[in-house]
Amino acid sequence: MNVNEFKAAWEKTNKQYGYNEPYPKFVEEIGFQIKKFMIPENQKYQGATGNARGMLDALLTYCKKTSVPEKNLEQFLTNINIIIDFLLTVRLTSQVPLNTAFFIRKRLEKFTIATVSEAKSILEKEIIFHQENYDASEDKIASIFKNRIIDRVESYELDKLIIGTHCHSGVVRKAIIEARDYISQVIVDKTEPEQQGVLTAYQLIQEGIPVKLINLSQFGFEFRKINLFMFGIDAVSADGVVLNKMGTRMIATLAKTKDLPVYFLGATYKYARNTLLGGLVKVERRKVEEKILFNHLGIDLESNLDKKVENNGTSRRLLETGFSAFDTTKPDFYSSVVSEVGFLPMREAFELAWKEYLD
């Protein structure tokens, strides 16, 4: 659902229920912030959890601003669903908003609601629960994984570990900070083309944790120093396949050749619920031609994008760019996925964490 479709759906609902609810421009603005998360002022909505926070902020703001009459309960609930559907299309692979939306809808279904005020009360409580639970889940993971790091220190008979990581994960950052007394250095790559790894490096430096910032291609050299890899999660399927930032699979594959432990850290919010029923995880593709074509040599590549070359009667573009945001890593190449309920497999962990919503 794009902006025009969102506006059309809003107008249709107004006509259907006979009340002209003002168009929520703030929802459109939050959608833009979620999409343009690398702009400094928008980074609060970065990542899957940040995307979900944006959705919750939009819903909470609507609850406070709505002027829908008490008797127009169906219009209010329809508007809630339109807002959710619009914001879910901004970032297709973000499992946290997908799962949060599912939980919100299931919560509203559990109650017999008569008025808009009742619906708002239930919705606001559910929103606050998830806002707090995002942090609580990550804090739990950090605490759990600290114990694993301590175990590794003891088993390796070392004073401290050197940790390798890739891209930018809030829960990985929290786990590193939690276990800082057992970590001597964190090696992180810049993560081209959007350089989210720079954020990881900066935030760890602010905590006084030593960091070595490298390019992805340097990891092969750094493997002789690294004791353990920690990655975040964009999604994990029922069969344990993990979707994460492009480059993760390459590192995990190399780590296996060196018998280095690899862990994926992420709350059950990031577990792809639809795969429990046979669905697939959608992979997001971003248009980042400008960042890929930029080079310090000053060579103009962009002017070649529209040129074509003929070869044996076939025509193809002279220059193309390609960028997939995510790759997949199978269970054969990592030690474990770690959630707020521990080291359990995806299906068991998700059903344990969210049993009341799945009944």
Q: Which residues pair with 164 in a beta bridge?
A: 187, 229
CB within 8 Å of 169: residues ≥ 6 apart: 47, 200, 230, 231, 232, 233, 265, 266
Triad 270, 274, 278: Cα angle to 5°: 130
Q: What is the pLDDT of residue 273?
A: 87
Sign of CA dihedral 327, 332, 333, 337: positive
Q: What is the pLDDT of residue 358?
A: 87
Average pLDDT by consecutive 10-residue portion of the chain (359 residues)?
Answer: 93 95 94 78 79 94 94 95 92 83 94 93 96 96 96 94 94 96 96 87 96 92 93 92 92 94 96 78 65 85 87 84 83 96 93 90
Q: What is the pLDDT of residue 36?
A: 76
Q: What is the pLDDT of residue 295?
A: 83
The alpha helices in the chain, defined as continuous H runs, are 3-17, 25-35, 47-65, 73-88, 95-109, 116-156, 170-178, 197-206, 219-222, 248-257, 289-293, 346-353, 355-358
Nearest to 223 by CA among 180, 192, 253: 253
Structure tokens at 12: 């249709």
pTM, entire model: 0.86
**How far is CA 319 from each of CA 291, 302, 306, 322, rounded to the nearest angstrom?**
15, 9, 8, 10
Largest CA distance in the chain: 72
Q: What is the DSSP string of 230-282?
A: EE--SEE-TT-PEEEETTHHHHHHHHHHTT--EEEE--GGGB-GGGGGT--PP
Q: What span, in angstroms and rounded, lies between the C-alpha atoms of 246 and 323?
A: 9
The alpha helices in 157-192, defined as continuous H runs, are 170-178
Q: What span, in angstroms and rounded, lies between the C-alpha atoms of 105 and 121?
A: 14
Q: What span, in angstroms and rounded, lies between the C-alpha atoms of 59 and 47?
A: 19
Q: What is the pLDDT of residue 91?
A: 72
Q: What is the pLDDT of residue 28?
A: 93
Domains and CATH numbers, the chain: 3-135 (1.20.120.420), 141-279+324-358 (3.40.50.10470)
